[in-house]
Structures are given as structure tokens and as C-alpha cells.
Structure 1
Amino acid sequence: MPGYRQSHVPYAVRHRDNHQFRTTGADRMPKLYKRKGGDVWQYEFTVDGRRTRRSAETADRRLAEDIAIKHEAAERRAVVHGQEAVLEFRHAVALYADDGRDLRFTVKLLDHFGKRLIKDITGPEIRKAAKILYPDAIPATWNRQVVTPMRAIINHAADAKGLTKISVKRFREEKKSRPAGSKEWIEAFCKTAKKMDMPETAAIARFMFETATRVSEACRLKWDDVNLQLGTAFLEKTKTTPRKVFLTRAMVIDLANIRSSHPYLVFAAANRSTVKKRVDKVIEKAGLTRLTSHEFGRHGFATEMIVRNDVDVATTADHGGWKSRRLLIETYVEGDANREVIDRVFGKKERR
């Protein structure tokens, strides 16, 4: 343009092409580029000496520019004012997801709290949201689907970003008495299952009852995780943390009897549906009280330990893999794990 010096044209405009976008100096902006053979724009920028690279997840260049600029601006605000000034709930959910955490109840939570800053979300607001999101639910549902996941997501982000954790008062729940498995129930079940030529079903029922293993965890158990000689099994993929469990003599015998039949999965069950069908079939044949896998397994374990044998909560939690001892106290009652307590509670009594 006549009479118009090139220096008046912003650097970003003068150095633009179809593949990347760079700016420097006072007009510095995020760099946009495409990977070789790709259609989606990528961007990178440096704030306070830390470089960030992300995908804009769009082939639209103008939209990618907008996403990159907003991201960089947020990072700069965080440097100046602290993470709490920019960390939104949706960012906390993304951190939670990146860590492989449970996202079952997050859709409604995201819709409600999405762009709210974490620092502005309070316990009373979370309790109020529970009633709004699930108006016809009971307190147990509000706790399970709102209070617990909100607290977990926010505190996970707080750990990651060095922020203050949140405390949320749970709704008071009415305790309901539910049936629990017992040694007598398990023995009758196993006896019937073996008569029906279903030794794997007998073994998995005993295993869940004596180790507090969830049905999904039992289904994943491989022979590589079992040491019959030492009488132990290692649960690698659990809801909380991996743990070692001790096997009673009866459990070792049950496992030894099915060892040669199934070379990979210990109980030859792909999922909980398979286990349920087998268990229901045995229960009907034996004429036993109908129990779910949780009732005769994890709930039965805790009841047998705490209620029927007065084992302390700490030991029960260690053996059963409970992350929260408070849950056990609230449910079953108003050390270190060792083999002896398992043999004492679940093993056969020695005759004098």
C-alpha cells in the first residue's frame, strides 16, 4: 500500500503461511502448526519459562487461534494470581480423567458446575446441587452421585495444583439392614455347587467371602497372581489399591482342584453377569437365601470379621482393601494385616 510502511503491519500478519503461525516480541502469541499429514491445528506457548503444547482439536484455524490465546491468557493469570484464580471445575474433571479415575457421575456435575472456579464452589452449594440434579433421590444417592465425586474431583485437583482441599458434609442416611453371607451359607453353597459339577462357582464364592474381593476383581484374577504353595493371591486391578490376600487351607484346596481346567483366568468367568447366572443357579438348587455377590462376598467378609468375631476395624480394612475405615465404622460398628486373623476367622477350627 503506497505510503504505508511495512513496519506498521503486525508481525503476526507479515509472517503467516498455511502451516504455522509465529509471533514474537511485544505481539507474541501462541505458535500454531499442523503435524505432517494432519488436519488438526496444534499450538504451543511458553509462560514463565514453562512450555505448553496442546492440540486445538479443530481444523478451523481461527477457532484454533482463539483456543490457544485463551489458554495462554489463563496460564499467565495463574502465574500472576495463582492457580485458584483460573482453575475451573471442568479443568479439575479433565485432570481427574487423565489420572484414570471413575467418571460415572460427572456428566450432570459438568453441566451444573462446568465453568465455575473451583475456589468458588462450597460444600453447601454441592449439597444444594445434589437436590437439584436428583430431586426425587434419597440421601444415599445424593452422597454417592454428587457429594462423593465432587469432593474427590476437587480434592484431586487441589493435590495436583497445591490448593486448599474442600470438606463437604454428607447427607444423613438411614441405615438399612441387608443380609450378609456367613460361613454356614458359604459351606452349603460350595457343597451344592460341587455336586452340580460347578467347582469354579464354589471357588469364586468362597474366594469373595474370605478375601472381600469384588466380583469384577475376582473375574480378573489370573493364575500368575496366585501362589498356592504360599497360600496367597495378589489383586492387581482393584477399585482402590493393589493388595495381597491370604488363602485358607480350604481355599487352596478349591483352587488346586480347578488349576488344570483353566490355564489363564482362575475362575473362568469373563464378567459379573456370568458369575451371577452361575451363582443364582446354585442358590436355587441349594434352597438358600438369595444373596448378591456383594452380600455374600464383601459384606459377608466384614460382617464375619467385625460383628461375629470382634476383629478390629483397622485389621478388617487392611485385609479387605477398604480405603475408608470410617465407612466400616459407620456400617458395622459404633494393625497390621497378618495371616493368623484370616485363619482364625475363616479357617476350620482345630480339634483338640
Structure 2
Amino acid sequence: MPNLYKRPGSDVWHFSFTVDGKRKRKSSGTTDKRLAEDIAIKHEARVRRAVVHGTEAVLTFAEALDLYVTDGKSTRFTVPLFDYFEKWKVKDITGPEIRKAAKIIYPDASPATWNRQVITPMRAIVNHAAEAKRLSKISVTRFKEETKRRPAGNSDWLKAFCKAAKKLNMPETAAIARFMFETATRVSEACRLTWDDVDLQHGVAFLAKTKTEPRKVFLTRAMVIDLANIRSLHPTLVFAAANRSTIKKRIDKVIKEAGLTRLTSHELGRHGFATEMIRRNGVDVATTADHGGWKSRRLLMETYVEGDADREVIDRVFGKKNNV
């Protein structure tokens, strides 16, 4: 039977007990003595069970999730997972059970959603706890996703876009379109680019804050000229736009004027960059990932494929038509 006691100056009951020669002490978190006794008895039984049968016998998903969040991991998509698995023991959470849960939690979702919002976070949470508690990790088979071919930017599209943008007296929009296409920069990253991040003399720009890691990008001769021509538009921001919604409105306006196929900033930028590099010019995945800032080469392999970054490949792929 656990021993209940109060610390000086506190009305909250604490308790202690000995298991396997080790003294355990813990706060009940309550001033109600009967409730504190129940909490203490339950906790002692749990600790004894863990000593006899191992940590995996008592570790719950709620505790695993708490370990995960406390360690600073993302809480995205975790609420529905907590609602479903809250009372489960981690030892009972298997790959098939997670796949089953995905279809129950999101009955009308696609395999891509099941993978992104259930398979990936569940595997991360359970294996994080397994590593912390020295337990066996789990593997979960992902759902097979239907590959959808998205439209992508290309040099001809860009040429028509830039021509229309300059006709509308929107050189900054022509410049950001080229920048995203030739460097695989996300629109939010392009918006944050300042003139202090750009070295036109050496033809490079530094992306300090990205989704993955800071990186240097190489600028083609045409890109340097475009940037030099908009140098006076804003004292700080290269593309004179503080947010992506502003860029979207500008791009949509030019697309309408030019009568072009509508592309999102991602389709124009990162998707166009990877397509131009891999599919149209046969650049290897490793080099493309290095230049485009992809942390996962597997993603590029799955999407675009049926060394160290250097300037040569950028000039070879994107510098061929400097008159765009």
C-alpha cells in the first residue's frame, strides 16, 4: 500500500512506494485524500506490471504522444489520432491496425491523405516512443497512391509569361516567375528574399529561411539582368511583395493577359524546375535535389523518374535561352 503524505506548505497529497528495491515518489495532483489513495494504488500497480512484463505492457498511446510533443515534434494531424488511439497500449498498435484506423478516421479520403495524415504521423509517434523506451519499432505499409501528372512550367511558357508581364509594366512579376522556375524557390521564400541576400556580381542568392535548410542558388545571366532591372522598385524586398497572395494576384493577371494555361506558383516553380532538370534534360536526381533544396530524394524519384551542386548544370539547363 502506498504511503501518502503532504509536503510542507502544500495541501496536495503525494505518495511513495517501493518496487524491486527502488523507491518511487510522485504527486497525486489532488487535495482529496480518497482520490489520492486511488491514484497511488493505480500507479503502483502500473509500475509493478511494467517491472514484471516490461514497459511495452503499460505504455499507452497518450503517453507516447506526450513524449513526442514534449520533444518539440509537430502536432499536425495528431488530434484525430489521439481521439482514436487514446486508450490503446502501444504494444497493440500494429501496422494493420494503423491502416484500419486511417479508413475509419477519414472514410472518404484518398490513399494520399491516409498516408499523410495517419500512416506518417502514427509511425513517427510510436517509433519515437520506442526509441525513448528502448522498445521495438514498427513498420507500416503505406497505401498505394495514384500518381497524378500535374502541369509544369517550361521555358516556352516562361518566355510568353515574361513577355506579357513586361508589356503590362510588371517586370518584378516576370523576375519572380523566372526566379522560382530556375531555382525551385517556393513563393514564400521568394517573398522573403532581400537585396542583402543577392550578389549580382557573382550571380548567386542566399535563401536564409526555407522549409528545410538554408541554401545558395545560382542565377543565370538572364536572371541577373532581370534582377538588375528591378533593383530600384523596393529598398529591401527583391520582388516588392510581402506575401504570397500579392504574388498570386500578379501572376494570375499576367496569365490572363497572355492567354496561358494557368499554373500555380508550385507548378511554375518547384515542379517546373524538377521537370526541366530531370525529364527534359536528364539531370540526375541527386544533383536536382541539391540544387532545388529537396531533403527527400525519394520524393523526386517517385514523382519525376520513370552530387554536389555546381553552377554548370544550372547554366546548361536554364541558361540556354537568355533572351526569354
Structure-2-length-normalised TM-score:
0.81
Q: Secondary structure at the match of 2:5?
A: helix
Alignment of 1:33-48 (within 5 A): none
How many Å separate the matches in 2 of 1:219 and 1:89? 40
Please state how far the C-alpha of 1:224 moved relative to its aligned partner. 3.4
Which residue in the other structure is 2:182 paired with?
210
Which residue in the other structure is 2:285 paired with?
313
Unaligned segments of structure 1, at least 5 residues:
1-9, 33-55
1:120 aligned to which of 66, 73, 92: 92
Question: Does residue 111 in structure 1 map to residue 103 in structure 2?
Answer: no
Tell which has more relative contact order, 1 or 2 (C-alpha 8 A, sep 6+).
2
Answer yes or no: is the 8 Å Cα contact 1:16–1:22 preserved in 2: no
How many Å separate the matches in 1 of 2:50 and 2:224? 56
Please state how far the C-alpha of 1:241 moved relative to its aligned partner. 2.8
Question: Does residue 12 in structure 1 map to residue 5 in structure 2?
Answer: yes
The 1:78–1:285 alpha-carbon spacing in structure 2 relative to 1, beyond 3 Å, is farther
CA RMSD of aligned residues (A): 3.5
Which residue in the other structure is 2:25 paired with?
29
For each residue in 1:269-328, what CA deviation from the matched residue of structure 2 results, as whole angstroms up to 9, or x when unmatched?
Answer: 333222211111111011111111111111111110111001111111222222222222
- Corresponding letter in the other structure for 2:255: I
- Corresponding letter in the other structure for 2:146: E
Please state how far the C-alpha of 1:23 moved relative to its aligned partner. 7.3
- Corresponding letter in the other structure for 2:241: A
Which residue in the other structure is 2:138 paired with?
166
Please state how far the C-alpha of 1:87 moved relative to its aligned partner. 4.5
2:194 aligned to which of 209, 212, 222: 222
The 1:87–1:22 alpha-carbon spacing in structure 2 relative to 1, beyond 3 Å, is closer
- Corresponding letter in the other structure for 1:216: S
For each residue in 1:41-81, what CA deviation from the matched residue of structure 2 results, as whole angstroms up to 9, or x when unmatched?
Answer: xxxxxxxxxxxxxxx7xxx6559979x97899988987887
How many Å separate the matches in 1 of 2:44 and 2:231? 58
- Corresponding letter in the other structure for 1:332: Y
Q: Which moved more, 1:281-290 or 1:147-156?
A: 147-156
2:219 aligned to which of 247, 252, 259: 247
Q: Which moved more, 1:302-311 or 1:236-245?
A: 236-245
Question: Does residue 273 in structure 1 map to residue 245 in structure 2?
Answer: yes
The 1:335–1:128 alpha-carbon spacing in structure 2 relative to 1, beyond 3 Å, is same
The 1:151–1:31 alpha-carbon spacing in structure 2 relative to 1, beyond 3 Å, is closer
Percent sequence identity over matched residues? 71
Q: Secondary structure at the match of 1:304?
A: helix
For each residue in 1:168-210, what CA deviation from the matched residue of structure 2 results, as whole angstroms up to 9, or x when unmatched?
Answer: 2111122222211001111221222222222222222212111
The 1:30–1:318 alpha-carbon spacing in structure 2 relative to 1, beyond 3 Å, is same
The 1:253–1:171 alpha-carbon spacing in structure 2 relative to 1, beyond 3 Å, is same
Which residue in the other structure is 1:4 paired with?
none
Q: Secondary structure at the match of 2:116?
A: helix
The 1:260–1:317 alpha-carbon spacing in structure 2 relative to 1, beyond 3 Å, is same
The 1:90–1:31 alpha-carbon spacing in structure 2 relative to 1, beyond 3 Å, is closer
1:180 aligned to which of 132, 152, 155: 152
Q: Secondary structure at the match of 1:152?
A: helix
Please state how far the C-alpha of 1:159 moved relative to its aligned partner. 4.9
How many Å separate the matches in 2 of 1:133 and 1:189? 43
Please state how far the C-alpha of 1:115 moved relative to its aligned partner. 3.9
For each residue in 1:205-252, what CA deviation from the matched residue of structure 2 results, as whole angstroms up to 9, or x when unmatched?
Answer: 212111212222222333333333332223333323332222222222
Which residue in the other structure is 2:314 paired with?
342
- Corresponding letter in the other structure for 2:5: A
Which residue in the other structure is 2:268 paired with?
296
Q: Which moved more, 1:289-298 or 1:117-126?
A: 117-126
Q: Secondary structure at the match of 2:25?
A: coil
Which residue in the other structure is 1:264 paired with?
236
Q: Secondary structure at the match of 2:283?
A: coil
- Corresponding letter in the other structure for 1:30: K
How many Å separate the matches in 2 of 1:99 and 1:265? 35
Answer yes or no: is the 8 Å Cα contact 1:213–1:320 preserved in 2: yes
Please state how far the C-alpha of 1:162 moved relative to its aligned partner. 4.9
Answer yes or no: is the 8 Å Cα contact 2:16–2:26 preserved in 1: no
Which residue in the other structure is 2:113 paired with?
141
How many Å separate the matches in 2 of 1:196 and 1:124? 56
The 1:231–1:304 alpha-carbon spacing in structure 2 relative to 1, beyond 3 Å, is same
Q: Which moved more, 1:277-286 or 1:119-128?
A: 119-128
Unaligned segments of structure 2, at least 5 residues:
none
Q: Which moved more, 1:115-124 or 1:198-207?
A: 115-124
Structure-1-length-normalised TM-score:
0.75
Q: Which moved more, 1:137-146 or 1:288-297?
A: 137-146
